[in-house]
Structure 1
Amino acid sequence: MGSVTTQKHPNGLEYVSIETKLCQARIFMQGAQIDQFIPSGKPPLLWVSSADDYQPGNGIRGGVPVCWPWFGMHENPQYPQHGFARNKIWSLESVDIKDQVVDLVFSLPQSEYEQQYWPHNTQVKVLFTLGETLTVSIVNTNKDNHPVSLTQALHSYFPIGDIHQLSATGFSGAQYIEFGQGPFQQPQDNVTFDRETDRVYTHLTASQELNTPHGTIVVSRENSRSAVLWNPWIDKSVRLSRFNNNDYLTMVCLEAANVLDDKVVLAPGESHTLTTHICWK
Structure 2
Amino acid sequence: MITDELELTSTKVILRAACDVYPNAGELPVIECITPKCRAVIALQGAQILSFCPSDGHELLWLSPLETFEYGKAIRGGIPLCLPWFGVNRREPALAKHGFARNQSWSLDNVTETAGGDLALRFLFQSSAEDLQVFPWAFSARLDVLLSDTLALNLSVLNSSDKAMPLSFAMHSYFAVSGLSALALDGVDGAEYLDNCQNLTQCRQEETLRFSGEIDRVYEGLSGTQTLRDGARAISVKGTACDTVVVWNPGAVLADTIADVGAHFAEYVCVERGMAFADEFLLAPGQRHEASMTLAATST
What TM-score, normalized to structure 2?
0.89
Instruction: Describe the shift of the 1:249–1:112 C-alpha distance in structure 2 as closer, same or farther (beyond 3 A).
Output: farther
Alignment of 1:130-149 (within 5 A): 130-149=147-166
Identify which range, 152-161 or 172-181, moves more after superposition: 172-181
- How far apart, in 2, do the equivalents of 1:220 and 1:42 lie? 22
- How far apart, in 2, do the equivalents of 1:259 and 1:152 lie? 6
Counterpart residue type for residue 209 of structure 1: T
Tell me the alpha carbon deviations over residues 113-163 of structure 1, each in whole angstroms, 9 at most, x when there is no partner. Answer: 611111112111122111010012221111222211211001100011010
Deviation at 1:256, TM superposition (A): 0.5
Instruction: Describe the shift of the 1:241–1:274 C-alpha distance in structure 2 as closer, same or farther (beyond 3 A).
Output: farther
Q: Secondary structure at the match of 1:254?
A: strand
In structure 2, the residue matched to 1:58 is: 73
- How far apart, in 2, do the equivalents of 1:215 and 1:105 lie? 30
Show structure 1 runs of 5+ residues with no match.
Answer: none
Counterpart residue type for residue 169 of structure 1: D
1:6 is the counterpart of 2:6: no
Show structure 2 runs of 5+ residues with no match.
Answer: 1-9, 20-25
- How far apart, in 1, do the equivalents of 2:270 and 2:228 lie? 10
Alignment of 1:16-95 (within 5 A): 16-75=31-90, 76-95=92-111
In structure 1, the residue matched to 2:200 is: 181
Fraction of identical pairs, as percent: 30
On the 8 A contact 2:47/2:105 being kept in 1, the answer is yes
Counterpart residue type for residue 124 of structure 2: S
Counterpart residue type for residue 49 of structure 1: S
Instruction: Describe the shift of the 1:128–1:270 C-alpha distance in structure 2 as closer, same or farther (beyond 3 A).
Output: same
Identify which range, 72-81 or 126-135, moves more after superposition: 72-81
Q: Say how many residue pairs are matched.
A: 279
On the 8 A contact 2:223/2:245 being kept in 1, the answer is no
- How far apart, in 1, do the equivalents of 2:278 and 2:45 lie? 29
Tell me the alpha carbon deviations over residues 166-194 of structure 1, each in whole angstroms, 9 at most, x when there is no partner. Answer: 01111123211012333222232x10011
Counterpart residue type for residue 70 of structure 1: W
Alignment of 1:211-226 (within 5 A): 211-226=229-244
In structure 2, the residue matched to 1:229 is: 247
Instruction: Describe the shift of the 1:257–1:246 C-alpha distance in structure 2 as closer, same or farther (beyond 3 A).
Output: same
1:155 is the counterpart of 2:155: no
Q: Secondary structure at the match of 2:111?
A: strand
What TM-score, normalized to structure 1?
0.95
